[in-house]
Structure 1
């Protein structure tokens, strides 16, 4: 696959986490620059990783689609009030979803990672996903967490240190923007163009 060949030529097998300062920018900017980065998870079964190809920004207190709308502070949202770069995992319809906490301390914002393109540990991902078709392995927020082995145990960890971290990857040639998915009851927020994806990538969620 031509696109993969270009990525493999970058020699990313020996990757290392980004520095903490990487996360210190606006939520909308972070949602865009995360595209092309590697999401890595180390487990006893092995390491699995994928290039982030789709994200959604959630802008906290003023965003009716955000869990922290109106500064809602619960056991689930507590980590959103921490410093940027923390792992925010939660369960929806039995699926674990993973977010990158963004914004300043006590400004609860986050970026949902919606899809990744498999990179390392593909056999392990296929095993975890029950032998599904390759294009469906990580093409959704619940699919990618299962494939990579991301669980609620990762809640509160940092994305700049193992066992779950983000590493440099590639720079997308083109980024598309549109409304977020699956938030029909969020008023005007359902129309905000805060979903970002690598244009033409086959692993973007459908």
Structure 2
């Protein structure tokens, strides 16, 4: 069963935590691909300088302002797609980037799913999925098994150094023991691939 709109209609940081353990599903072209979400990042509004909405409403960012439960897909570095779910109430910008999934069904065994670009490539998520309604489209999320707090890690987001102090906000959330997390802190507090 698809996650209801009410699941997404909450603060991005809450949704980012509760997405851990849920399933990302893409049914398209007669194929079904499923992955268990193991890593997310929250982007919490226009005042969050790491959020695309910080530059205001544009043709690209309009989807971030709602309604909740839509896909926000963008293309970066001329090579990677990134998939986000839109959160918050309509009119407030917010989204959660899906950073890593554990393969469950239909994903090619040789394709990596640790990192937002890799998972989109493995799933076949592209700009064609931008703005998709997760209630009616072939791209959607379903409930999974809840992840207990002792297995959850939280720390700074990745790749947003331009955002100043916002880059250090602990808005990246992951399952500690998953090998499908894109980067995990080492014992010295640094990140490794």
Structure 1 residue aligned with 2:40: 55
**Is the 1:51–1:119 contact (alpha carbons within 8 Å) kept by the matching residues of 2?**
yes
Q: What CA distance in whole angstroms lies between the structure 2 residues aligned with 1:25 and 1:160?
A: 16
Deviations 1:25-82 (A, max 9, x none): 1111000000100000011151101000000000121101010015x11111111112
Is 1:186 aligned with 2:186? no
Give the superposition deviation at 1:161: 2.9
Higher helix share: 1
**Is the 1:43–1:149 contact (alpha carbons within 8 Å) kept by the matching residues of 2?**
no
Q: What CA distance in whole angstroms lies between the structure 1 residues aligned with 2:135 and 2:39?
A: 20
Is 1:65 aligned with 2:20? no
TM-score (normalised: structure 2): 0.89
Is 1:21 aligned with 2:6? yes
Structure 1 residue aligned with 2:88: 103
Q: 5+ unaligned residues in a row in structure 1: which ranges?
A: 1-15
Is 1:202 aligned with 2:187? no
Q: What CA distance in whole angstroms lies between the structure 2 residues aligned with 1:64 and 1:81?
A: 16
Residues paired across the two proteins, number: 180
CA RMSD of aligned residues (A): 1.2
Structure 2 residue aligned with 1:82: 66
Structure 2 residue aligned with 1:40: 25
Is 1:165 aligned with 2:149? no
Q: What CA distance in whole angstroms lies between the structure 1 residues aligned with 2:135 and 2:23?
A: 12
TM-score (normalised: structure 1): 0.84
Structure 1 residue aligned with 2:75: 91
